């Protein structure tokens, strides 16, 4: 999709379709007022006919509107003007795209003054539109012999603003929105791919390709390298699989070498059967999405590189399958992690934390400014927060606040859970330094407590994306989350570094 920012109102523009807002009940938005004036009251006549009253979710496509250079005018219902908030804006955008997709319209002109959200700036609206529009065109066709071509014809959007002084900020917002959308699309593709294709080896190849395109540095540790280092915990998960495990490291340098990097660590379990603690068969196919943390790291690095942010970012991806076999880890096995701490593996299905802990210890060598791990870690997080909200836990309040704010800003929201010392007791083992599970109660927090034992040397936050990384049912597929949250966090950090 192409996006163009223009300064102007509807009277002098031309195009295939003007999109103008109507509030409840029958109240004209700014651009609707202008269009009504130049058309001698045409819009008011239409509204008076009763075919549309401006309720949220409604729309009406008009043809041959007199005295205008637009071939069509799409009226979009915005609901009550006083109640117009971020959520109404997102609803209106979804409405616009689904209405236009059914038509032959190739380019549409939207007037940003129609959307009066008091606490959001113009450039925020622009990047939201770019992300939602690009997402509405996403299809996963790689594995189909005939692609689904149901995207309609819309390929260009003209976004109109009132003041020339806002032009530069809005044009920058187009770029930011496009970078976020491109990062999400990469994350979605990797998540949606079948697990016989998206293996650890495949992810490593993707990281190398990404590095080549965007002048980053990719390196891959093989199992023998991990053995030498002493990553006994990661290797314990990998030993049941025929697919070799990898530790992928991707380095983006947008600032001087000496600047401390932000490190993103993504869980890359390309299929989680549970291992010997085997999962039930129903919906097990969805465990191909258990590499969504890894996918979000690659997606975010793509966005960061496209935006050429003036910071350093390192992505670390421990990746493996979790399979049952004669060689697989058994419940009761004790392993030694890279940190030297020993772990009693009571449940082989709690494998995410076992691969993350070695990657988190490995992260120490980068002298990080902050480390954020992203993982589809616990079913308990889906029970606690559902599919709307990512779980956030951190050993640093400032970092937690900044991530929460980035989630609010992008609508890719997270909610913080406590990491108090009381919970650490859940991980007590009679036979090793710790157990890898803490029981059913507070399952999301005990998983984070486990990780916290490997992150004492730096500021760290953990994002549990078990509920938000993909959708189930008829809409089954990756969401590309939390690429918006992570990219926004890094953009804001880059801005404060630049000043």
Of 2 and 475, nearer to ligand BES (C-beta) is 475
From candidates 378, 402, 452, 488, binder to ligand BES by CB under 6 A:
378
Asked if 349 interacts with ligand BES (CB under 6 A), we say yes
- Burial of residue 33 (CB within 10 Å: 0-12, 13-18, 19+) is middle
Which tokens is 470 given? 């993909």
Asked if 347 interacts with ligand BES (CB under 6 A), we say yes
Asked if 352 interacts with Zn ion (CB under 5 A), we say yes
CA distances from 78 to 41, 95, 173, 334 (A): 20, 10, 23, 59
The label of the residue with tokens 């012999």 reads 145
Asked if 272 interacts with ligand BES (CB under 6 A), we say yes
CA distances from 214 to 101, 210, 428, 498 (A): 33, 6, 45, 21
The label of the residue with tokens 């938000």 reads 468
Asked if 376 interacts with ligand BES (CB under 6 A), we say yes
Q: How far is the CB of 406 from ligand BES (least distance, A)?
A: 23
State the residue number with the nearest CB to Zn ion.
272
Q: How far is the CB of 399 from ligand BES (least distance, A)?
A: 24
Which tokens is 334 given? 């004790």
Q: How far is the CB of 209 from ligand BES (least distance, A)?
A: 26
Asked if 349 interacts with Mn ion (CB under 5 A), we say yes
Query: What whole-number distance in Å separates Cα of residue 435 and Cα of residue 452?
Result: 14
State the residue number with the nearest CB to ligand BES.
379
- Which of Mn ion, ligand BES, Zn ion, none is residue 206 near (CB under 5 to 8 Å by kind)? none
| Active centre residues (catalytic) | 279, 353
Task: Identify whether the C-beta of residue 208 lies closer than 8 Å to the C-beta of residue 250.
Answer: no
* CA-CA-CA-CA torsion sign (269, 270, 276, 280): positive
> Binding residues for ligand BES, how many (CB under 6 A)?
16
Of 251 and 290, nearer to ligand BES (C-beta) is 290
List of residues 6+ apart from 409 with CB closer than 8 A: 124, 488, 492
Task: Identify whether the C-beta of residue 447 lies closer than 8 Å to the C-beta of residue 378.
Answer: yes
- Which of ligand BES, Zn ion, Mn ion, none is residue 466 near (CB under 5 to 8 Å by kind)? ligand BES
Could you tell me which stretch among 46-54, 81-89, 104-112, 345-353 binds Mn ion (CB under 5 A)?
Answer: 345-353
By CB under 6 A, what part of segment 175-194 binds ligand BES? none
Q: How far is the CB of 173 from ligand BES (least distance, A)?
A: 33
Give me the phi and psi of 473, to 5 degrees please: 75, -150
Residue 316, helix vs strand vs coil: strand
Eight-class DSSP state of 374: E
Q: How far is the CB of 391 from ligand BES (least distance, A)?
A: 11
Cis ω before 400 (30° cut-off from 0): no
Eight-class DSSP state of 411: T
The label of the residue with tokens 């494998």 reads 351
DSSP 3-state helix, strand, coil percentages of the chain (rounded to 5)? Answer: 40, 25, 35
- Which of Mn ion, ligand BES, Zn ion, none is residue 189 near (CB under 5 to 8 Å by kind)? none
Asked if 350 interacts with ligand BES (CB under 6 A), we say yes
Asked if 351 interacts with ligand BES (CB under 6 A), we say yes
Residue 51, helix vs strand vs coil: coil
From candidates 166, 189, 272, 373, binder to Mn ion by CB under 5 A:
272
Query: What whole-number distance in Å separates Cα of residue 56 and Cα of residue 164?
Result: 30
Of 269 and 381, nearer to Zn ion (C-beta) is 269
Q: How far is the CB of 352 from ligand BES (least distance, A)?
A: 5
- Which of ligand BES, Mn ion, Zn ion, none is residue 400 near (CB under 5 to 8 Å by kind)? none
- Which of ligand BES, Zn ion, Mn ion, none is residue 321 near (CB under 5 to 8 Å by kind)? none
Q: Pattern of binders to ligand BES over 273-302, x per CB under 6 A? A: -----------------x------------
Give me the phi and psi of 181, to 5 degrees please: -65, -40
Asked if 352 interacts with ligand BES (CB under 6 A), we say yes
By CB under 5 A, what part of segment 228-287 binds Zn ion? 269, 272
**Which residues make beta-bridge pairs with 47?**
none
Q: How far is the CB of 377 from Zn ion (least distance, A)?
A: 7
CA distances from 13 to 7, 106, 160, 161 (A): 10, 16, 10, 12
Asked if 379 interacts with ligand BES (CB under 6 A), we say yes
Query: Which residues sit at the interface with ligand BES, rule CB under 6 A?
Result: 272, 290, 347, 349-352, 376-380, 382, 437, 443, 466
Query: Which residues sit at the interface with Mn ion, rule CB under 5 A?
Result: 272, 349, 351
């Amino acid at each position: 999709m192409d996006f163009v920012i223009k300064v102007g109102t509807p009277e002098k523009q031309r195009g295939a379709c003007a999109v103008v807002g109507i509030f409840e009940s029958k109240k004209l938005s700014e651009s609707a007022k202008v269009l009504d004036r130049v058309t001698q009251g045409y819009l008011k006549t239409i509204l008076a006919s009763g075919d549309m009253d401006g309720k949220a979710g409604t729309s009406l496509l008009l043809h041959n509107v007199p005295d205008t250079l637009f071939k069509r005018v799409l009226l979009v219902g915005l609901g009550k003007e006083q109640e117009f908030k971020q959520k109404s804006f997102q609803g209106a955008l979804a409405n616009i795209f689904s209405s236009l997709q059914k038509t032959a319209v190739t380019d549409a002109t939207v007037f940003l003054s129609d959307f009066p959200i008091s606490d959001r700036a113009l450039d925020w609206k622009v990047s939201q539109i770019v992300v939602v529009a690009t997402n509405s065109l996403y299809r996963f066709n790689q594995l189909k012999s005939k692609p689904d071509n149901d995207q309609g014809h819309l390929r260009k959007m003209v976004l109109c603003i009132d003041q020339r002084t806002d032009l530069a900020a809005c044009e920058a917002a187009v770029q930011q929105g496009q970078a976020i959308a491109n990062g999400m699309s990469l994350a979605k593709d990797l998540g949606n791919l079948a697990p016989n294709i998206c293996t650890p080896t495949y992810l490593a190849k993707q990281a190398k390709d990404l590095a080549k395109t965007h002048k980053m540095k990719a390196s891959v540790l093989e199992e023998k390298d991990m053995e030498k280092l002493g990553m006994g915990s990661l290797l314990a998960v990998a030993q049941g699989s025929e697919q070799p495990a990898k530790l992928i490291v991707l380095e983006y340098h947008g600032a001087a070498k000496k600047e401390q990097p932000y490190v993103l660590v993504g869980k890359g379990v390309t299929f989680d059967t549970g291992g010997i603690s085997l999962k039930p068969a129903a919906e097990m196919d969805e465990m191909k999405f258990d590499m969504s943390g890894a996918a979000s790291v690659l997606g975010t690095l793509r966005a960061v590189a496209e935006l050429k942010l003036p910071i350093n970012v390192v992505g670390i991806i421990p990746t493996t399958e979790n399979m049952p076999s004669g060689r697989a880890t058994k419940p009761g096995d004790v392993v030694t992690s890279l940190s030297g701490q020993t772990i009693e593996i009571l449940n082989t299905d709690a494998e995410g934390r076992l691969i993350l802990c070695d990657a988190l210890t490995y992260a120490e060598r980068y002298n990080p400014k902050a480390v954020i791990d992203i993982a589809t870690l616990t079913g308990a997080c889906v029970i606690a927060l559902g599919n709307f909200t990512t779980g956030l836990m951190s050993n640093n309040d400032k970092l937690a606040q900044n991530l929460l704010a980035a989630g609010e800003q992008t609508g890719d929201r997270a909610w913080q859970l406590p990491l108090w010392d009381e919970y650490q007791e859940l991980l007590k083992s009679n036979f090793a330094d710790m157990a890898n599970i803490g029981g059913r109660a507070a399952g999301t927090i005990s998983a984070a407590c486990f990780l916290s034992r490997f992150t004492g040397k730096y500021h760290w936050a953990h994002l549990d994306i078990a509920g938000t990384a993909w959708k189930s049912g008829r809409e089954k597929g990756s969401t590309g989350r939390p690429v918006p949250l992570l990219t926004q966090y890094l953009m804001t950090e880059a801005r404060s570094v630049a000043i």
